[in-house]
Amino acid sequence: MYKLYYYPLNASMAPHFVLEQLNQEYELVLVDRKANAQKSKEYLALNPNGRIPTLIDGDTVICESAAICLYLGENNPESKLVPNIGDPDRAEFLQWIMYLTNSLQAELMVYFYPEKYITDENNEVIIAAQEIRISEMWALIDKKLAGKEFLIGDDMTICDHYLFMLAVWSDELKEPPLAFNNLSSYLCNLAKRDEIIEVCRKENLSLTDYR
Ligand SMILES: N[C@@H](CCC(=O)N[C@@H](CS)C(=O)NCC(=O)O)C(=O)O
């Protein structure tokens, strides 16, 4: 049985959506961030970065949220959550999952934890700069979503789960994803899905804004 080390609304949320969608039994193990449990000796033995999430599958231990989503999708091909090699949508899929984790997620990290990136005490400057950068990225995604139900092709992929997680993180921005027309209808549609509803229930996130 899959075992996901998680903390509500953290980078474990996307793998949690994927696990829920797979409709298989899985175990959730809370890594208590409030007690800094991600830096405990036991957890560091699994994830030397001391970051959440980690997935265990038998003898396999895998870290990095996007890698876990890919792993789950590829190991459950019937879910069609990852386009197969040779699928015409595969290149675009790879491009976007990398963009979401490498670019948008990375910029959000600087926004949320500016103190980790600069020694200066004036964090407001970096937060303001990140607001602009991140808004530009959401504008780009909004454009891509014009007339589309899913980010890639006509089917749900892990990119949509990932995007939903990053949208939840971005809801405190001055121009949040729900302020963009295409993104708003896309996210509100995703918010009707069973796995999104169930994970948000478990992670105590209200979906009221997405109705
Ligand atoms: N690139 C990693 C980032 C994971 C990450 O930064 N997780 C945060 C929670 S969202 C964390 O564990 N922070 C605790 C810490 O840095 O001590 C991934 O996508 O899995």
Type and span of the H or E element at 142: helix 123-144
Average pLDDT for residues 19-26, to the nearest whole number? 94
Q: What is the largest CA-CA distance in the chain?
A: 50
Ligand 1: residue of 52, 65, 99, 117 to mutate (most ligand atoms within 8 A of CB) is 52
**Mean pLDDT, to the nearest integer, of 37-46?**
98
pLDDT confidence of residue 115: 85
Residue 6, ligand 1, Cβ within 6 A: no
11 Cα to the center of ligand 1, angstroms: 6
pLDDT of 141 > 90? The answer is: yes
Q: For residues 164-187, give the mean pLDDT.
A: 97
Structural domains present in the chain: 2-79 (3.40.30.10), 90-193 (1.20.1050.10)
For ligand 1, is residue 158 a contact (CB within 6 Å)?
no
Average pLDDT of the residues in 145-159: 97
Residue 19 has a pLDDT of 98
- 160 pLDDT exceeds 80? yes
Quick one: average pLDDT of 52-70?
A: 98
Whether residue 12 has its Cβ less than 6 Å from ligand 1? no
Task: Quickly state the pLDDT bin for 119 (edges 50, 70, 90).
Answer: low
Query: Does residue 124 have a pLDDT over 90?
Result: no
pLDDT at 125: 86
If pLDDT is split at 50, 70 and 90, which confidence band does 82 have?
very high
Residue 121 above 90 pLDDT?
no
To the question of pTM greater than 0.85 for the whole model, the response is yes
Pairing mode, strands 26-30 and 2-6: parallel
When the pLDDT of each residue in the chain is averaged and rounded to a whole number, the result is: 96
Average pLDDT over residues 150-164: 98
The token pair that represents 182 in the structure block:
């295409």
| Residue 182: per-residue pLDDT | 98
pLDDT of residue 120: 65
Other C-beta atoms closer than 10 Å to the C-beta of 20 total 19
User: What is the CA(202)–ligand 1 centre distance, in A?
Assistant: 20
Pick the more confident residue, 119 or 125: 125
pLDDT category at 80 given cuts 50, 70, 90 is: very high
User: What is the distance in A from the centroid of ligand 1 to the CA of 114?
Assistant: 14
How high is the pLDDT of residue 48? 97
Q: What CA dihedral angle connects 163, 165, 171 and 175, to 10 degrees?
A: -20
As a whole number of angstroms, the distance between CA 47 and CA 53 comes to: 8
Take residue 108 and report the two structure tokens written for it: 């959000």
Decide whether any atom of ligand 1 lies within 6 Å of the 11 Cβ.
yes
Q: Count other C-beta atoms under 10 Å from residue 112's C-beta.
A: 13
Asked, as a colleague might, if the bond just before 77 is cis with ω within 30 of 0, I would say no
3-state secondary structure of 54: strand
38 Cβ inside 6 Å of ligand 1: yes
The arithmetic mean of pLDDT across residues 157-172, rounded, is: 98
Order the strands of the 54-57 sheet from edge to edge: 26-30, 2-6, 54-57, 60-63
CB of 8 sitting under 6 A from ligand 1: no
Residue whose entry in the numeric block shows the structure tokens 């970065």: 49
- Helix or strand holding residue 61 (H, E): strand 60-63
